[in-house]
Chain A
Amino acid sequence: MTQVAEDIEREAGAEAVVKKFMFVNRKAPHGTIYALEGLEVVLISAAFDQDVSLAFLDDGVYQLLKGQETKAIGVKNFSPTYRALEGYDVEKLYVERESLEARGISEQQLLVAVQVVSAGEMAELMEQQDVIISS
């Protein structure tokens, strides 16, 4: 746990409650700010020792493609950050198979190790959460 999170917990005087948080990503990476902002929130939540998972479906699967080169469009290439999530103990990345197939993307084209799941399995994972945050 980070120092900040520890301080907040001590001030609150509360027992640590671990909830299941799922961040659902359904947007392509650079056309809107959703993906980048969503990733920032994931990193913040990771500091609070919660049970965090990420889901990628619909155009959200484009966020995980290898070889993103954003220099010429003048925006930050935040895609390497997905590889850093492991260092924050965020290790559950679920990608929907149907969304990959609809876009001609194979698992080998993704820049990080993920669990590929069916739409039905994704729906089941969503049901198991305490909190779902969409971006």
Chain B
Amino acid sequence: MLHIVNKSPTERSALASCLAHARKGGAVLLIEDAVYAATKGSAAQASVERALRELPVYALGPDLDARGMGASVIDGVKVVDYGGFVDLVIEHRTSQSWL
């Protein structure tokens, strides 16, 4: 399952809830304000790094760039473009948005 999160981790609990339910074999994609979770020094950094031990975490490059965060991505988080977003959706049997 591909888990898609679009809310800032410091404003909403969507990412925390997502990470509590994501399983090995799945993947997490951070888009829109959720990309802040993929940046160094964020309050969510530890939980993202913990998640990375179990499954891949991706962040959408255009959303990072738009927020001036393109150079601050946590090691291990993979940055994808819109084409990569589509590839992830295709690679996983199901997708779930954590609104």
Contacts and interface: CB of A to CB of B under 8 A. Distances in A.
Interface of A: 24, 26-27, 34, 57-58, 119, 122-123, 126-127, 129-132, 134-135
A126 B13 contact: no
Contacts, number: 34
Interface residues of B, number: 14
Given A26-B17, A57-B17, A58-B13, A127 B23 contact: yes
A117 to B, nearest CB: 12
Say whether chain A's binding surface is mostly helix, strand, loop, or mixed.
mixed
Interface of B: 1, 13-14, 17, 20-23, 94-99
A135 B94 contact: no
A134 B94 contact: no
Contacts of A134: 96-99
A67 B21 CA distance: 30
Contact of A123 (B13, B14, B21, B94): B21
